[in-house]
Each structure stands twice: as C-alpha cells, then as structure tokens.
Homo-oligomer: A and B are copies of this chain.
Amino acid sequence: MERILQKQWEEKDKKLYKAVIFKDFQEAFLFMIRVAFLAEKNNHHPKWTNEWNKVEIWLYTHDAGDVVTEKDRNLAKEIDKLLEVEIR
C-alpha cells in the first residue's frame, strides 16, 4: 500500500482517532480490507469513513460505555503495524 500521510492516533471525544491518506481509492480500500480482517480477528471493529483516498478511523468500546479501552489501544497498535510493514 502506498501511504501518503499518516498522523499519530489522538484521543478525542473518548475515541482514538486516526486519518490516513493513500495514493488513490484502491490503495485506501486495500488497507480497509486488511483492517477488516484484523477487526474480525480481534472481534473488535472500528467506526470508519472513507472518501476516495482518505480513511478516517475512530476506535472506542461500545460495551464499556463508549470509552477508549485496551481493546482499542490493541487494535490501534495492530493497525499501525499494518501501516508500517506496508510502507514502500
């Protein structure tokens, strides 16, 4: 995946938030497919928005009262690993 821009996770409104910009839609969606498998493996799923080459992710735990928990921090780390190994 060709990633153009990635900011660190930030915690806001009781959610972990990250935005990643890719080269185009296919690269962005390829990333989403990989995150989808991660989410299923962890049985923990993001709220996310995609628009063309941009993916925005919000992580929080509904069952814990919509706050950030270890589940979110773990998924955030796994997503970061995915972005790391995919840098060209």
Contact = CB atoms under 8 A, between A and B. Distances in A.
Number of copies: 2
Contacts of A25: 36, 39-40, 45
A51 interface: yes
Contacts of A51: 45-48
Interface residues of A, number: 16
B48 A52 contact: no
Interface in A6-40: 25-26, 29, 32-33, 36, 39-40
A37 to B, nearest CB: 10
Contact of A48 (B36, B45, B49): B49
Contacts of A49: 47-49
A33 to B, nearest CB: 7
A51 B32 CA distance: 13
